[in-house]
Amino acid sequence: MAQKKLNILLIGYGKMGKAIHDVLLKRGHTLCGKIDIDNINELSAYNSTNVDVAIEFSHPSSAFDNVWYCLTHQIPIVCGTTGWLDNMPKIIDYCSKNKSSICYSGNYSIGVNIMFALNEYLAKLMNTHSEYDATMHETHHVYKKDAPSGTAITLAEGILKNNTNKSKWTINRDQLKPDTLFIGHDRIHNEPGIHTVKYTSPIDSIEIKHTAFNREGFATGAVLAAEYIYDKKSTQIYTMYDILNLQKA
């Protein structure tokens, strides 16, 4: 069956928003509006009668308000903004009480989400091999505001859930203890994103790594998520595991 052509609202029109705009047009959808910092007041003009789905890549300071607006106005929403997850319990509570269409991911790249699944499986395999110390590193462009990245946090959580050798993560070397997962981070001009998980022993190391070449992979995943959730309702938040039919470890 042919994919329904959607009216998509973009909330946040930076580099990612522009990349998503290109992909949604390539896939036959319509951009029904774009909201950015200079016209945020225009968001009130949109609701479920003129938007099929919204895609939100804005700023940590505004993401919660944008998501809340869409949920309370019955607009299905795909959110990729990171750095605001302290407010996520409020969104989870809303969804548990009011069936909503929302997909959240710290990274919409198909390749990264396959790495998420590999990371969880590898963490489980390494659980009985405490001689291997797990560490992580991520690199992004200099304009990324939060550190570590949402993708790095997701990878770290996947390790903590599946490997009892680590109980918490940190970006501060002076807080390192044997049960602490260290996440190194760099900000380099024009680097779309590199994430590495490494297990090192005195005799060898095992490493999985994802390198993004550009933003198109992230944008494509976000549009795929929009195509998946626009007509769905759930008491839970959808993730890219649902969109890609990936299995957790």
32 exposed, middle or buried (CB, 10 Å; 0-12, 13-18, 19+)?
Answer: middle
Q: Which of 21, 140, 166, 195 is catalytic?
A: 140
Q: How far apart are CA 232 and CA 173, in angstroms?
A: 44
Q: Which of 5, 73, 124, 144 is catalytic?
A: 144
168 is catalytic: no
Exposure string (b/e) for 151-177, b if CB count within 10 Å is 16 or more? Answer: bbbbbbbbbbebbebbeebeeeeeeee
Handedness of CA 108, 155, 97, 242 (dihedral sign): positive
34 is catalytic: no
Q: How far apart are CA 45 and CA 56, in angstroms?
A: 16
Query: How many alpha carbons lie under 13 Å from residue 18 in its C-beta half-sphere?
Result: 3
Cite the active site residues.
Answer: 140, 144
